[in-house]
Structure 1
Amino acid sequence: MDEPMLNGGAVTARFHGDHIYKGAPNAEFEVFTRAQGAACGYEFVKGARYLVFARSRDSGLSTTLCSGNRLLPAGDHPLRFSDHAQGMGPLTPELITALGTPVRVNAEPPPAPDRTGVMVIAVLAGAVVLAGAAWAGRRARAR
């Protein structure tokens, strides 16, 4: 489902969630982003934990470089004021309050995805599986 590099291309990041703040509490889901930062793409690192702000689109969830995503410390706990996120600034009391109460994701089968177009905010953890060889190949050719 990746797009050609023309117009920035697109990559798919597959996530294993540990806590969901808004939207359906799916244990696994995919988020689309542009392949290049210059095209507002967000570069996820495999194995890292993120707070991801994504929107529901016809083709699934999508995020950008300007969505406010944050790289989080390793772990599987809900967000805390003491967490030092990298990216768009620290986790503030206002941000954590606005996110609301998290739902712990478990290994049970997830419910059907919520496709209402509402912003989905999720804390993601574990193995971020990027669009495999296509991502690595594109990154290598871009350098």
Structure 2
Amino acid sequence: MPAAFVLLLHRRFRDVEDRREVTRFVLGYNAAAPPTQRVPPRQAEAVLRANLGEAHLAELVDDVATARIMYALLFALVDDLALSEDEIDDLITAADDLLHSVMKSSQPDLAVPTIDLATVIPHDSMQWRPTRLGQGAEVNTGSGSM
């Protein structure tokens, strides 16, 4: 997930020089999201800006909060960029290639911290996703009772 997030983030903000655009993106997400799906604005901005090159900001947000923010905003980035299904498939392939490239170039004895997303992401987080036009949509996961 982090590789896909970073690829989308750079695609969305590559030509943006004004940091306030990141603030507007986070505010737009939170305005559309139900209260239970919103992200802490300052932390979200720090995560985005850290992954856009301001690495010192990464220290301000713990790993669990970073994972939650990335997960939530990944879908917002897909929506904001209006990616087609083919483009999403290409993104997944590019993220997988990036991950394999990093893994090949890493030291084999280098411990890479991992986070079990099942313990970090709220179980109901798949119930809402941002949609174009700044509104959200309920997602039918098929797990509801009748």
Relative to the length of structure 2, the TM-score reads: 0.23
Relative to the length of structure 1, the TM-score reads: 0.23
**Which structure shows the bigger proportion of residues in helix conformation?**
2
**Which structure shows the bigger proportion of residues in strand conformation?**
1
